[in-house]
Amino acid sequence: MAVNTTSASHTPRAATRQAGAPPQLRAIRVHQQRIIKTVILTVTSLFLGIPPLSMLIFTLRHPLSGRWSLDPWKAIFTADGSALGADLSTLWSGLGISLGLCMATVVIMLLLLVPVMVIAHIRSKRLERIIEWVATLPLTIPAIVLVVGLGPIYRWLSTDVLSSNPIWLCFAYAILVMPYAFRALTVGLNSIDVLTLCETARSLGASWARVFFRVLLPNLWQSMLSASFISISVVLGEYTVASLLGRMNLQVALYQLGQSNSQISTAMSLLALLFGVLLLVSIDLISGAMRRSKENNQPCL
Amino acid sequence: MPLTQHHVVPSETPMQNNTASVSKQSVTQAAQAVLAESAERGGGVQMFGIDKIYAGSTTKALDNFNLEIKPGEMVVLLGGSGCGKSTALRSLAGLEDIQHGRILVGGQDMTSVPANKRGMAMVFQAYSLFPHMSALENVEFGLEIRGIGRAERKRVAMEKLELVGLSDQAGKYTQQMSGGQQQRVALARALAINPRVLLLDEPLSALDAKVRVQLRDEIRRIQLEAGTTTVFVTHDQEEALAVADRIGVMHHGRIEQIADPTTLYRRPTTEYVATFIGLSNKIPGSSNGTEAEVFGHRVPLLDGSASGAAVNVLVRPENIILRAQASDTPGARAHVMMIHFLGSLVRVDTIVDHSGIPVTVQMPASELPTGLRNGSVVTLEPLPIPALAA
Ligand SMILES: Nc1ncnc2c1ncn2[C@@H]1O[C@H](COP(=O)(O)OP(=O)(O)O)[C@@H](O)[C@H]1O
Ligand SMILES: [Mg+2]
């Protein structure tokens, strides 16, 4: 996607720059550029494509016997791994936990970030910068270091306050997804004049609650959706924190399953990856569709 | 040169031309016609001793700001950028906390009433339409808050859209409308709730010149029809003069002078007002407080004039007579620097000999001495029309 947009915006500029050159020369340059673009595109696709492709082949071809079969996929979709001598129950519980974690994390993230960011956006530019800095911190701190700090907290949480249920990982995950969610929400906030809209609504008689639900949320839902989708894909792929804190989730289950049946585990990883990609693509599709629906309504002046 | 403004309305013997006096008259009639209704709604505004200091700032954005507005009146707050116009308006709307002072609307204390309970409506410069709502839904917004039923809401909203000439654009969204149309919708939305006070913060500043003039006149027409008490903030004096019942000239967080346009032009009370509204020549002279001597002539002075041996007398360009060289009467000898033809008027820039003071003279084109050109020697005489000494 990114490659497409850059090349599209590149072509007209390149064309105008070379408008003065003789036609043959221009043709050669255009040709050269096409080659460069193709090379870049190919290398990138190979770089991104080979690992999943290898994974796919690995799931289809038994590493020892070299026999091709769909058995690992059948095992996943029939939920029965006995044919391959694997116990899939851990996988299902890991998947269930991860899905639960996705939901809990998204809810916490939205409840935490949306009001705070809106208020900071309205109230003070300085506060907004501080929040940005804080929200970006998790990116700069390695997960292992994070766990060192989270360990004692979770020991205390699990013994005294809550339980050792892995769902409580949602608090740690809310921190992990913050940098990504923050970016997505910032885009939404910057696309409208939040302050003017709030003040207009206030002066027309709206309570703060109404301002929030009737004016701000309808204009922010798209970026909230992006923030949620990104959060979900982060949570689905999270291994380090869960594993080091000794909690079960999808990735931990996949790892464990990989010890006994690496083919099924790899197939499941592929599915998780595919799901993540679908989420990210759908963000793009949704915003594209919104843009198009607006453009279609252009006034015919 | 004190002559900063160059497209000034009052130059043609200000406010006396026919159109101005006609509209002045209809203003008064209309204002009286709606007075009763407005008084009922409690439309008068009083702001007393307002101080506002923004957090993190040391200067007062409003410094003992006072303003009284009669029901149904349109007051324009006029002043340069940063003088506190928006702050005054936002304080009235309840969008800013004030440190000191009181705000009354219709005799009712509003000082600590939150913005959404003040029954006012604000129109901003731009970007104030709710992007997820159509024009019609935008106009319905305030009515919806007031719990008005769907059908009635739609009826009122359509009526207001019609008032601003946009009934055929009801289904359009922000990004499908021009800037002028968006401001019309914003105006309709504000009018729909029948506000006690309509607040307009530079509503035309983002529009191009033609639309600006058109919408400005329309705002005035609609305001007169509805009799809505209105505060209109602008930095454009032409705009102010065109729509105002009274203009408050703001400077350093307070109103320097508030008066109808004619008074403001003819009887400014401060140097700032005299130079901000229209053109004024700053001519050194001596004053005893009631009379000044300028170029050897006596000029009566306005209230509030300074006295002393060395004051500046602020004389309007049309209050100076320019004679071609041959003249025995007292006056200042000057050289013509530049002649500007402004249609029916001529403006002549001169430099007084010896002192080097720049003086601009304005006269009907028919009275321009024949043969006058750049470098001509002329005599300048002030007319005995009251001026301000500062
Ligand atoms: N939110 C704010 N924080 C700090 N200072 C402000 C703020 N808004 C306005 N000011 C200051 O208050 C003064 C008056 O501003 P404003 O009322 O917006 O002026 P105007 O509308 O006449 O251009 C200016 O000096 C401006 O810098
Ligand atoms: Mg302003």
Same domain, A56 and A95: no
Residue of B nearest to A205 (CA): B116
Token output for B185: 């919708």
Same domain, B62 and B195: yes
Q: Which pLDDT score is estimated for B354?
A: 86
User: Whole domain around residue B248: which residue ranges?
Assistant: 27-266
Of B266, B294, B311, the residue at which a domain comes to its end is B266
Same domain, A107 and A56: no
Same domain, B57 and B196: yes
Q: Which pLDDT score is estimated for B267?
A: 92
Query: At residue B203, what is the residue type?
Result: P
Q: Identify which of B199, B27, B189 has the alpha carbon closest to the alpha carbon of residue B96.
A: B199
Same domain, A34 and A137: no
Alpha-carbon span B291 to B296, nearest angstrom: 12
Contact status, residue B380 vs residue B352, Cβ threshold 8 Å: yes
By mean pLDDT, which of A16-20, A132-136, A214-218, B154-158 is the weakest?
Answer: A16-20
H or E stretch at B67 = strand B62-69
Of B266, B299, B332, the residue at which a domain comes to its end is B266
Same domain, B370 and B242: no
Average pLDDT estimate for B339-345? 92
Chain B contact probe: residue of A203, A208, A301 with most B CBs at under 10 A = A203
Same domain, A117 and A224: yes
In a domain, A295, yes or no: no
Same domain, A28 and A153: no
Same domain, B104 and B200: yes
Token output for B51: 């101080």
Same domain, B84 and B145: yes
By mean pLDDT, which of A67-76, B3-12, B76-85, B338-347 is the weakest?
Answer: B3-12
- B89 or A83, which is more confident: B89
User: What percent of chain B shows pLDDT beyond 70?
Assistant: 88
Same domain, A171 and A226: yes
Q: How many CB atoms lie within 10 A of CB B112?
A: 10
B173 touches A at CB < 8 Å:
yes
A196 neighbourhood in chain B, CB within 8 Å? 124, 126-128
Contact status, residue B286 vs residue B309, Cβ threshold 8 Å: yes
Alpha-carbon span A100 to A23, nearest angstrom: 61
pLDDT at B6 over 60: no
Contact status, residue B360 vs residue B3, Cβ threshold 8 Å: yes
Same domain, A43 and A177: no
Interface predicted TM-score (ipTM) over 0.85: no
Q: Which pLDDT score is estimated for B1?
A: 41
- Using the 8-state DSSP alphabet, how is residue A64 labeled? T
Alpha-carbon span B239 to A21, nearest angstrom: 53
Of A60, A79, A99, the residue at which a domain comes to its end is A60
**Is the beta carbon of B181 within 6 A of some atom in ligand 1?**
no
**CA of residue B57 to ligand 2 center, whole Å:** 17
B54 touches A at CB < 8 Å:
no
Same domain, B184 and B301: no
Q: How far is A204 from chain B (nearest CA, A)?
A: 5
B120 touches A at CB < 8 Å:
yes
In a domain, A291, yes or no: no
* Count of the separate structural domains present in chain B: 2
Strands B332-342 and B297-300: unpaired
Residues lining ion ligand 2 (Cβ < 5 A) are B 86
User: Whole domain around residue A24: which residue ranges?
Assistant: 2-60
Inter-helix orientation angle A23-60/A71-78, to 10°: 70
Q: How confident is the model at residue B18 (pLDDT cuts 50, 70, 90)?
A: very low
Strands B100-105 and B197-201: unpaired
Q: Kindly report, residue by residue over A187-224, the tens digit of the pLDDT.
A: 999 989 999 999 999 999 999 999 999 999 999 988 99
Q: Which pLDDT score is estimated for B26?
A: 52
User: Residue B5 to residues B202, B237, B278, B314: CA-CA distances in angstroms?
Assistant: 19, 9, 6, 14
Same domain, A100 and A21: no
The distance of Cα B244 from the centroid of its chain, to the nearest Å, equals 6
B177 neighbourhood in chain A, CB within 8 Å? 299
Q: Could B115 and A199 be called an inter-chain contact, meaning their C-beta atoms sit closer than 8 Å?
A: yes
CATH number at residue A197: 1.10.3720.10
**Is the beta carbon of B91 within 6 A of some atom in ligand 1?**
no
The distance of Cα B102 from the centroid of its chain, to the nearest Å, equals 24
H or E stretch at A9 = helix A2-17
Of A41, A60, A79, the residue at which a domain comes to its end is A60
B48 touches A at CB < 8 Å:
no
Q: Whose CA is nearest to atom 16 of ligand 1?
A: B84
Average pLDDT estimate for B38-48? 71
Whole-number average pLDDT of chain B: 87
Q: What is the pTM of this model?
A: 0.79
In a domain, B194, yes or no: yes
In a domain, B11, yes or no: no
| Helix, strand, coil fractions of chain B, as percent rounded to 5 | 35, 30, 35
Same domain, B144 and B61: yes
- Using the 8-state DSSP alphabet, how is residue B61 labeled? S
* Count of the separate structural domains present in chain A: 2
Q: How many CB atoms lie within 10 A of CB B206?
A: 16
Q: Which pLDDT score is estimated for B45?
A: 94
Same domain, A21 and A141: no
Same domain, A22 and A159: no
Cβ-nearest to B128 among A196, A205, A294: A196
Q: How confident is the model at residue A281 (pLDDT cuts 50, 70, 90)?
A: confident
Q: Which pLDDT score is estimated for B345?
A: 93
Q: Could B176 and A202 be called an inter-chain contact, meaning their C-beta atoms sit closer than 8 Å?
A: no
Q: Which pLDDT score is estimated for A231?
A: 93
pLDDT at B94 over 70: yes
Same domain, B252 and B302: no
B297 touches A at CB < 8 Å:
no
Q: Sheet with B297-300: list strands edge to edge.
A: B297-300, B291-294, B281-287, B308-315, B388-389
Q: Say which residues have a Cβ less than 8 Å from residue A8's Cβ, sequence separation at least 6.
A: none
In a domain, A188, yes or no: yes
Token output for B349: 């820039």
Q: How confident is the model at residue B279 (pLDDT cuts 50, 70, 90)?
A: confident
Q: Kindly report, residue by residue over B160-178, the tens digit of the pLDDT.
A: 999 999 999 999 999 899 9
Same domain, A36 and A105: no
Of B234, B266, B298, the residue at which a domain comes to its end is B266
Q: Which pLDDT score is estimated for B39?
A: 47
Alpha-carbon span B274 to B288, nearest angstrom: 19
In a domain, A148, yes or no: yes
Please provide residue B75's backbone torsions phi and psi, each rounded to the nearest 5 degrees.
-105, 135
**Is the beta carbon of B54 within 6 A of some atom in ligand 1?**
yes
Same domain, B259 and B304: no
Same domain, B214 and B307: no
Query: At residue B109, what is the residue type?
Result: D
CATH number at residue B382: 2.40.50.100
Token output for A8: 């599209």
Q: How confident is the model at residue A152 (pLDDT cuts 50, 70, 90)?
A: confident
User: What percent of chain A shows pLDDT beyond 90?
Assistant: 39
Inter-helix orientation angle B135-145/B179-192, to 10°: 20
Q: Kindly report, residue by residue over A260-274, the tens digit of the pLDDT.
A: 888 888 888 888 888
Q: Which pLDDT score is estimated for A5?
A: 40
**Interfacial B residues in 138-167 facing A (CB < 8 Å):** 141-142, 145-146
Q: Kindly report, residue by residue over A128-143, the tens digit of the pLDDT.
A: 999 999 999 988 988 8
CATH number at residue B175: 3.40.50.300
Q: How confident is the model at residue B143 (pLDDT cuts 50, 70, 90)?
A: very high
Cβ-nearest to A218 among B95, B132, B146: B132
Contact status, residue B5 vs residue B316, Cβ threshold 8 Å: no
Q: Which pLDDT score is estimated for A64?
A: 83
Token output for A247: 């909690």
- A44 or A150, which is more confident: A44
Average pLDDT estimate for B82-109? 94
A201 neighbourhood in chain B, CB within 8 Å? 130, 141
State the closest ligand 1 atom to the C-alpha of B87, by its place in the atom list counted from 1: 17
Q: Identify which of A117, A100, A91, A233 has the alpha carbon closest to the alpha carbon of residue A170.
A: A100
Place of tokens 């992006």: A226
Q: Identify which of B59, B73, B67 has the alpha carbon closest to the alpha carbon of residue B101.
A: B67
Token output for A85: 């001598």
Average pLDDT estimate for B2-9? 41
In a domain, A296, yes or no: no
Whole-number average pLDDT of chain A: 84
Contact status, residue B166 vs residue B138, Cβ threshold 8 Å: no
In a domain, B274, yes or no: no
By mean pLDDT, which of B191-195, B207-211, B321-325, B326-330 is the weakest?
Answer: B326-330
Alpha-carbon span B303 to B301, nearest angstrom: 7
Same domain, B80 and B198: yes
Same domain, A108 and A214: yes
Q: Could A202 and B116 be called an inter-chain contact, meaning their C-beta atoms sit closer than 8 Å?
A: yes
Q: How many CA atoms lie within 13 A of A140 on its CB side?
A: 6
Same domain, B306 and B169: no
Please provide residue B135's backbone torsions phi and psi, each rounded to the nearest 5 degrees.
-55, -45
Q: Identify which of B177, B86, B95, B76 has the alpha carbon closest to the alpha carbon of residue B131.
A: B177
Token output for A230: 């990104």
In a domain, B1, yes or no: no
Alpha-carbon span B197 to B41, nearest angstrom: 10
Average pLDDT estimate for A72-81? 83
Q: Could B177 and A299 be called an inter-chain contact, meaning their C-beta atoms sit closer than 8 Å?
A: yes
A202 neighbourhood in chain B, CB within 8 Å? 94-95, 114-116
